[in-house]
Amino acid sequence: SAGGGGKGIRVAYNRKEVEEGFPAVRAEAKGAFGDDRIFIEKFVTAPRHIEIQVMGDKHGNVVHLFERECSIQRRNQKVVEEAPSPLLDEKTRMAMGEQACALARAVNYDSAGTVEFVASGADKSFYFLEMNTRLQVEHPVSEMITGIDLVEQMIRSAAGEKLAFKQKDLKIKGWAIENRIYAEDPYRNFLPSIGRLRTYQAPAEGKQGDVTIRNETGVREGDEISMFYDPMIAKLVTHAPTRIAAIDAQAAALDKFLIDGIADNIPFLGAVMEEADFRKGDFTTAYIKDKFPEGFAGVPPTPAQEKLLIATAAVARAFTARRATQTSGRINPPNGDTRDWVVILDKVHHLTSVALDEKGADVAIDGKKHRFDTASRPGARIISGTFDGKPFAVKIKTAPEGYTLRLRGVTVRCLVATPRGAELHKKIPEKQKADTSKLIVSPMPGLVISIDAKPGQEVKSGEGVAVVEAMKMQNIIRAERDGVIAKVNVAPGASVAADEVMIELA
């Protein structure tokens, strides 16, 4: 009842989930807020999370700065926010705004606050959730569409000034999208990630044509991300005249946001920005579960993206080979000299010819010609430019025999070899994966809260055997198959690393 930020919330579909979730919710609430009181309410399926930004002063004036939609959530915590909402029409917007202002007036509210609602995507009916009497994480999107600095207005109101604007003065100008950058691994159910930020390069901020990019962060390169705090490390905001333009600007900015040393959720965010239903505005708070029912595993490249990634890998390899001739003292081949490579992507061999020049390269992939213009050079972690005239930015990391490439939620491993090397590669047997089915590991670094199994005990697949706390969240560790506990390697109170073996099955 004292909570926020998605902490201390569970959905229970049956008695067993109530028995497991009730003590976990109380413990999370006690640890995060010092108050373990909880309440139980009916769970409403297929909702939209819409909130109204209000602003009041000490003279009884209250206005609303329209709505924000925050339906894209994981673990009941917001991930993507936007303003205005693609769901609301003007009539519903006005009704929600009037009710939010009425609530603020009823309590003599005199600062920035947020009134949250659950809205139905079917008939636009809406229901009060709560009022947050503070500035929300996602307030920048409201600032971007109204031009009002909410922090400034809070200070002016606290100093006793009257609001300098009335409701009729406020208009929606364009569209704003905010993505929360989290230190977490989207490929492992968004588990927290800790470590040192070896690289932290945010996209350039400011106005670029009709688009404005804004990045709010509290970290810098070299900082340590620990298990003791919320995993959010940045808020990336884009504003443009239309929703699609703001989404496209987000996708492009995410491609230029480079983080190394910890896992981050940028691949997931990039995939959401490209997903069809999100782009149409057709989603609910169950979006992540509906779109990725087996968990996020990346998205496959489109045919156009595949060609771009193949070209990027081949050009990067050609640049590296040319640099090697310079450092060896050999004569550098002239611009326009063509060299053949084979790019192996998802076990498919693509014959790729690269002719470097001062502006980039002419590239032929499986016989089809393309133009690759770039100012990036060997060693760059982001290669950007235009491919067949269209702008791009691809994150690239050297891997054995090739590269790992990231783009718009796509992560691929490309091997790049000479034609002879590619022939030999076909003869290399695949490495067999070790059997780890008997090992129950901690999926994240954290603190062991409880061990709920002992040697000799039979367990069923899906049964909870331990609880690990990380970044203010308690995570139930479950057996992945039926078995008998052979050995328990950790005790409550111990710190565990990611992938540390906690329990072994016979």
Q: Annotated active-site positions, please?
A: 130
Which residue's entry shows tokens 């991300």? Answer: 225
Check: CB of residue 30 under 8 Å from CB of residue 5: no
Can you tell me the distance from the alpha carbon of 220 to that of 231, in angstroms, rounded to the nearest whole number?
14
Please list the residues that pair with 368 across neighbouring strands. 365
Check: CB of residue 309 under 8 Å from CB of residue 300: no
Check: CB of residue 306 under 8 Å from CB of residue 345: yes
Can you tell me the distance from the alpha carbon of 182 to that of 72, in angstroms, rounded to the nearest whole number?
14
Residues 6 or more apart from 192 whose CB is under 8 A from it? 183, 184, 227, 231, 444, 445, 446, 470, 471, 473
Distances (CA, A) of 341 to 347, 365, 376: 15, 10, 20
Can you tell me the distance from the alpha carbon of 466 to that of 442, in angstroms, rounded to the nearest whole number?
9
Check: CB of residue 216 under 8 Å from CB of residue 234: yes
Residues 6 or more apart from 43 whose CB is under 8 A from it? 11
Give Cα 212 to chain centroid, integer Å: 20
Can you tell me the distance from the alpha carbon of 374 to that of 312, in angstroms, rounded to the nearest whole number?
10
Rounded to 5 degrees, φ, ψ at 88 are -75, 145
Q: What is the DSSP string of 263-330?
A: --SHHHHHHHHH-HHHHHT---TTHHHHH-TT-----PPPHHHHHHHHHHHHHHHHHHHHHHHHHHTP
Per-residue exposure over 336-366, b if at least 16 CB sit within 10 Å of its own CB, e if not: eeebebbbbbeeebbebbbbbeeebbebbbe
Q: Would you give the end-to-end CA distance of the chain in angstroms?
A: 43
Give the tokens for residue 255.
């491609």
